[in-house]
Structure 1
Amino acid sequence: MDNRKAIVVFSGGQDSTTCLFWALETFDEVEAVTFQYGQRHHEELDCAKEICQTLDVPHHELDMSLLNQLAPNALTRGDMKITEGEDGPPSTFVPGRNLLFLSFAGVLAKQVGAAHLITGVGETDFSGYPDCRDVFMKSLNVTLNLSMDQEFVIHTPLMWLDKAEVWELSDQLGAFEFVKEHTLTCYNGVKGSGCGECPACKLRNRGLKQYEARKAGVHAE
């Protein structure tokens, strides 16, 4: 296993793209893996592929369409409304998604000799997703290592950052404009600033405004 090689779980959104730039800064070799699990919009897959081509990052796309059959959710079913959960996770929660994605990313990492796995999950703006919690990631890291008798390290650079701080990190990495213009976070498949109405866009754009205001205040002093 190469301790300077990493696999990034990559969707082409703000968070995973920031993690991709972080990985490129941190490791000597970086590859990305995107999962096709019946997303509403093929644009997400296209966006991930385009970003990897632009950054010259080897890109893998794996078929996980079985997940759509097992776990109906608003990210894959056009007939389900996107709602923010009040008594539980929102309708966009896909049960088992991060468990399966990181497990398969671990299998891929073993094949290509990468010791590091990187994912853009976080607790601060995690929207009620239980598989974005730090305790789950630590538990999964132990399980992956035991299952394959390897010493993988799962990195979560955004775990304790809110969206404004994620924008700040992308700026520190010299990727602010790239992330702003080329990523796709919107649940309705609109690149960049998105539709402006879905929960993902509201979270992203609120964080952007907060960071830009903070940055302008610093420059004004």
Structure 2
Amino acid sequence: MPSMNPALVVLSGGQDSTTCLYWALNRFGAGQVEAITFDYGQRHRIELDCAARIAARAGVPHVVLPIDTFAALGGSALTDPGIAVQAGVDAQTQLPATFVPGRNLIFLTFAAAFAYPRGIHDLVTGVAQTDYSGYPDCRQTTLQVLEQAIRLGMEYEITIHTPLMFKSKAETVWMARDLGVLPALADSHTCYNGLQPPCGVCPACQLRAKGFAEAGIPDPLLERFREPAP
């Protein structure tokens, strides 16, 4: 039975956050869910339009907050056009070039600040530790400590829900199927190069393709761009 508490979903417009949006609708109920998207100067800006379409399809209120400091900081392939989007890790940091330092920490802190005056106590994010891309801010321990810090710093009860934390990409695809999310995933965006159809070669595209292949389900996004048979 759905909870009667309102929830706020951090919606990037990608596969995982879209799945989490529908998880929240199932968990908290229609009319109890809002979505927030961050414009942080990402190169794949098409995901902002995708998030708006997905929120509209789901019938949830949606707001986009501009936080372009990440682009000014640089140092990530997702915000700096001079850094190539590629597989592998940096020799010094041992982290992928697509790692945006502090991104999830700041997203969730801003989401909590947005939730505070609206009386929302439940935040939902699509981070996952099992199949994550080497990002330390996707780990459960990180999110647990952040949740505690927000509670203490705001004197406000916040719970951060991570429905995908220990799921593989294939398991998230099955979860999406069971929640009826697959049609919405046709509007989602994963490609770090910001291409539609997706490039198919960047780390994000490869991880997404691997999940759908292992799940044995066609990717609705690729089906959307597939040419009809003559």
TM-score by length of 2: 0.87
Would you say the 8 A contact 2:193–2:202 is kept in 1? yes
Would you say the 8 A contact 1:23–1:30 is kept in 2? yes
Would you say the 8 A contact 2:57–2:184 is kept in 1? no
Cα distance in structure 1, aligned partners of 2:200 and 2:135: 22
Structure 1 residue 178: Cα displacement: 2.4
Which of 51, 72, 76 in structure 1 is aligned with 2:75? Answer: 72
Q: What secondary structure, in the 3-state scheme, does the structure 1 residue paired with 2:95 have?
A: coil
- Gaps of at least 5 residues in structure 2 are 218-230
Structure 1 residue ranges, 4+ long, deviating more than 4 angstroms after superposition: none
Q: Check if 1:39 corresponds to 2:39.
A: no
Q: What secondary structure, in the 3-state scheme, does the structure 2 residue paired with 1:4 have?
A: coil
Aligned-CA RMSD value: 1.6
Match of 1:154 in 2: 160
Cα distance in structure 2, aligned partners of 1:143 and 1:86: 29
Q: What secondary structure, in the 3-state scheme, does the structure 2 residue paired with 1:123 have?
A: coil
Alignment of 1:93-112 (within 5 A): 93-112=99-118
1:34-68 per-position Cα deviation (integer Å, ceiling 9, x unaligned):
00111113211111111111211111111110122
Which of 169, 173, 176 in structure 2 is aligned with 1:167? Answer: 173
Match of 1:129 in 2: 135
Q: What secondary structure, in the 3-state scheme, does the structure 2 residue paired with 1:110 have?
A: helix
Would you say the 8 A contact 1:32–1:52 is kept in 2? yes
Would you say the 8 A contact 1:71–1:95 is kept in 2? no
Match of 1:85 in 2: 89
Would you say the 8 A contact 2:85–2:193 is kept in 1? no
Cα distance in structure 1, aligned partners of 2:118 and 2:13: 21
- Gaps of at least 5 residues in structure 1 are 214-221
Structure 1 residue 112: Cα displacement: 1.5
Would you say the 8 A contact 1:5–1:114 is kept in 2? yes
Would you say the 8 A contact 1:31–1:59 is kept in 2? yes
Match of 1:139 in 2: 145
Aligned length, in residue pairs: 210
Q: What secondary structure, in the 3-state scheme, does the structure 2 residue paired with 1:117 have?
A: strand
1:165-210 per-position Cα deviation (integer Å, ceiling 9, x unaligned):
010110110112321x11101112235x722111101000111011
Match of 2:59 in 1: 56
1:139-190 per-position Cα deviation (integer Å, ceiling 9, x unaligned):
00100111111111100000001100010110110112321x1110111223
Match of 1:13 in 2: 14
Would you say the 8 A contact 2:122–2:160 is kept in 1? yes
Match of 1:205 in 2: 209
Would you say the 8 A contact 2:131–2:168 is kept in 1? yes
Cα distance in structure 2, aligned partners of 1:156 and 1:38: 25
Structure 1 residue 3: Cα displacement: 6.4
Structure 1 residue 82: Cα displacement: 1.4
Higher deviation after alignment, 136-145 or 50-59:
50-59
Cα distance in structure 1, aligned partners of 2:198 and 2:20: 20
Would you say the 8 A contact 1:9–1:16 is kept in 2? yes
Higher deviation after alignment, 120-129 or 100-109:
120-129
Q: What secondary structure, in the 3-state scheme, does the structure 2 residue paired with 1:121 have?
A: coil
